[in-house]
Amino acid sequence: MKFLYHPDTVLTASELETLAVGLLAEIPIPGVEGCGFDSGIIRRTFLQAAVDQKSIKAVTDTTLGTYSDDYTLAQLHTVPPDELEAVVNKLFVQQAAMILGPGPRIICLDFVDIHYHGCPHATAGELCHTIPRDGTSQCHRYLAGFVLCRAKPLIVAATPVRGDEPKSDAVERLLDHVADLPFDIAGLLADRGFYDGASVERLDTEAPVALPIIRRGKQMTEKLDTIVSYWTEYVMYERSERELRFPLAVCVSYQQGNRGKHGLLVRAYVACDLTDRTPKEVEALYQKRSAIETAFRTMREARARTSTTDPAVRLLFVLVSFLLRNLWVIVRWGVLATPRRGGRALPVWFRFEVFRKWIDHALDITLSRTWEAPTNCVGIPATYSQLDAG
């Protein structure tokens, strides 16, 4: 990582490969007992699968310097998921410390769903259900935290989510990781998937919270029946042991023909510890969260493909994609951006696609990618050429 603090005059593909491999060197791969293997080759194999959006088999079939796909996956199946999660979240903390200052930051929370057509690896509780896509509603789900920063939008925490656990348990784990970050949390922006009493209550203990409500119930319908923005209080699970009260920011705006719609648009947000703002300011703050969609789209561009049912291997590939995306953000801002008054000018040409292709090119050399294939030594039958001549 010394290169990041004192870079050379030029950045090369091999240097990017060295940075990526050094980052992944922290990932624990115990390996099958009694099998001697080079963990560096294993790491470079799934690194190339990630940057090229391929499977392990696709990489091993086209390179000479790798093990077979079965052997590689056998070693990856030994990765301990709990230790993997702890190690990667420590790496997130290190990455955040590199380029984010000590000032308070806003964290966006979201669920990342990877749709899945297979069967559970061990228990049905591994899988979650979401909006159907490509013929399935099953998915492996991950909860991630993303720092709201225009030039340095890092993923700062992640944890897997099981279908048989309350969402609040996953929120608890993620906030434990967030607590290790080297800066204070100025606020938490979450989507409506966090709209349940336990999650709202836990988020509120950490920092100011803004998240949209789910429209249901007579009480909520009455509060949304308005033509002006206002503050009110909402009572969830009223007159029960779980009763929870929180400030509700009701915002009214005019659609003005947007997407062919007209008339009033009424939205409401859970807004804990944000009552010093107007409802419109709460809505404006929450809308900044849209930047998270770009972060998760680029993450998917660096995820290795796999058909394995093992959730630990799938978790590994997702966390590696997060780490690589962060590394791109760090290199782009720390090494390539031009210093100037008002903040560094980011290099427009250094897209995430370019970052991936450079690493892929360097790995082609390191893993001895084959650029030739045996022919059939027969070619096109002579009768075909006679037909063409006629």
Q: Cα separation of 42 and 71, whole Å? A: 9
Q: 155-161 and 209-212: which strand pairing?
A: unpaired
The per-residue pLDDT for 97 is: 93
Q: Cα separation of 63 and 239, whole Å? A: 65
pTM assigned to the model: 0.92
Please write down the long-range contacts of 256-265, taking CB distance under 8 Å and 24 or more positions apart.
Answer: 264/227
> CA distances (Å), 119 to each of 143, 166, 306, 310, 348, in order?
21, 22, 14, 10, 42
The per-residue pLDDT for 237 is: 85
HSE (side-chain half, CA atoms, 13 Å) at 383: 0
Rounded mean pLDDT for each run of 10 residues along the chain, 390 residues in total: 87 95 94 84 96 96 94 95 96 94 90 92 92 90 92 93 93 95 93 90 92 85 90 88 91 78 85 93 89 78 94 96 95 94 92 96 96 90 70
The per-residue pLDDT for 386 is: 67
Please classify residue 268 by burial: count the beta carbons closer than 10 Å to its beta carbon, then call 0-12 exposed, 13-18 middle and 19+ buried.
buried
Looking at the DSSP bridge assignments, the partners of residue 244 are: 236
